[in-house]
Amino acid sequence: MRDQIERYWSELAAVTYNMPYALMEQAAELMLECQQRGGTIFVFGNGGSAATASHFACDLAKGTRTNGLPTFRVVALTDNVPLLTAWGNDTNYDRVFAEQLVALVRPGDLVMAISASGNSPNVLEAVAAARLAAATIVSLTGRTGGQLVAGSDLAICVPSDSIEQVEDAHLIIAHSLCVAMRDYLRTATLPQAQYARSLAGHTTTIDTRT
């Protein structure tokens, strides 16, 4: 048992050394651009990826909040269970995310699709709906990326064939993006805060003598 546990952790550590960090930086930049133009970020996936989507939405909405700057507008399409089951029952499960996007997504929004295989039909349907709405599509997927890569503007493929380790890496990606963007936003507000403090501490004398 211990050997298997240690092997899992060793393999996961090896995965982290080979991650596409430049693509993660690009993903962060796209998300910040979406925030700055007042767009909405939509996140979704199945199973473990659904849990990651909900977790990511929570951290992005709350954990990156910075005084003086707009917050991220983010929606996890996994969280409205009545709506998911209604679309699954009235159409089919392949449409549970796509139909939500049809109603909500707008040009300039960003859609983050999470799928270890890259071949989940409902994820691919949602990506197609987002593409029709002229949204930007970022995907988190596994080594090959499946069909999801072709439908994405930016695809971050975790270099592993283990679904568990891919899902582990997806959550780490989400955390690292949130931490990086939070630090970036807070650093960006420093010059403004310093300027405000300098104004508060500076008094101007106006000569009213005639």
Average pLDDT over residues 78-92: 96
DSSP 14-26: HHHHT--HHHHHH
CB-based contacts of 92: which residues, under 8 Å, 6+ apart?
none
- State the pLDDT confidence band at 190, using cuts at 50, 70 and 90: low
Element (H, E) at 111: strand 110-114
Domain ranges (residues) in the chain: 28-185
Tokens 């089951």 label which residue?
85
Residue 65 per-residue DSSP state: -
Pairing of strands 136-141, 110-114: parallel
User: Is the pLDDT reported for residue 198 higher than 80?
Assistant: no
pLDDT by residue (tens digit) across 132-172?
999 999 999 999 999 999 999 999 999 999 999 999 999 99
Average pLDDT over residues 106-132: 97
On whether the CB atoms of residues 142 and 117 are closer than 8 A, the answer is: yes
Mean pLDDT, the chain, integer: 90
pLDDT of residue 67: 82
28-185 homologous superfamily: Glucose-6-phosphate isomerase like protein; domain 1 (3.40.50.10490)
> Considering only 61-75, 91-105, 118-132, which range has the smallest mean pLDDT?
61-75
Tokens 């199973």 label which residue?
47
Query: For residue 143, how many C-alpha atoms fall within 13 Å in the half-sphere facing its CB?
Result: 9
pLDDT of residue 196: 46
* Spatial separation of the C-alpha atoms in residues 1 and 89, rounded to whole Å: 42
pLDDT of residue 209: 46
* Spatial separation of the C-alpha atoms in residues 37 and 20, rounded to whole Å: 27
The two three-digit tokens of residue 203, written as one number: 């008094």
pTM: 0.87
pLDDT of residue 206: 37
User: Is the pLDDT reported for residue 194 higher than 70?
Assistant: no
C-alpha distance from residue 187 to each of 26, 115, 174, 180, 182 (Å): 19, 33, 20, 11, 9
User: Is the pLDDT reported for residue 195 higher than 60?
Assistant: no
User: Is the pLDDT reported for residue 37 higher than 60?
Assistant: yes
- State the pLDDT confidence band at 66, using cuts at 50, 70 and 90: confident
pLDDT of residue 68: 78
pLDDT of residue 83: 96
Q: Which comes out higher in pLDDT, residue 197 or 15?
A: 15
* Spatial separation of the C-alpha atoms in residues 28 and 176, rounded to whole Å: 10
Average pLDDT over residues 5-23: 95
